[in-house]
Amino acid sequence: KAGVTQTPRYLIKTRGQQVTLSCSPISGHRSVSWYQQTPGQGLQFLFEYFSETQRNKGNFPGRFSGRQFSNSRSEMNVSTLELGDSALYLCASSTGQETNYGYTFGSGTRLTVV
């Protein structure tokens, strides 16, 4: 079955702009989690969506937002970009069931803010 698809793979944006990243989970998976990875902070959890509802949120400013559609695809939006937002953004797909079943990650979107 197809894996987790993230688009685009690379993005270059200017400070102050906004950006939207997309994540299509594995077919049948209803949960999508988003992470930011930077050399200094490592992998940090942004938020998780399940059946179009945000169930969990990390410690990021309100400039970071997301949503999930009825087909479980998710988008993440960052407004008013700052240089520090440059990072690899990863999404993970899972069934979202109570018991930990496994998280499959996409290849990521590399965002560079200049």
Contact footprint for other proteins (CB under 8 A): 4, 6, 31-33, 42-43, 45, 47-50, 55-56, 58, 88, 90, 92, 94, 96, 98-100, 102-108, 110
Residue 36: closest CA among 17, 61, 12, 5: 61
Q: How far is the CB of 29 from other proteins (least distance, A)?
A: 11
What burial letters (b/e) apply to 45-56, b meaning 16+ CB within 10 Å? Answer: ebbbbbeeeeee
Rg (CA), the chain: 13
Q: Which residues pair with 77 in a beta bridge?
A: 20, 65
Q: How far is the CB of 88 from other proteins (least distance, A)?
A: 6
Q: How far is the CB of 35 from other proteins (least distance, A)?
A: 8
Residue whose CB is less far from other proteins, 18 or 55: 55
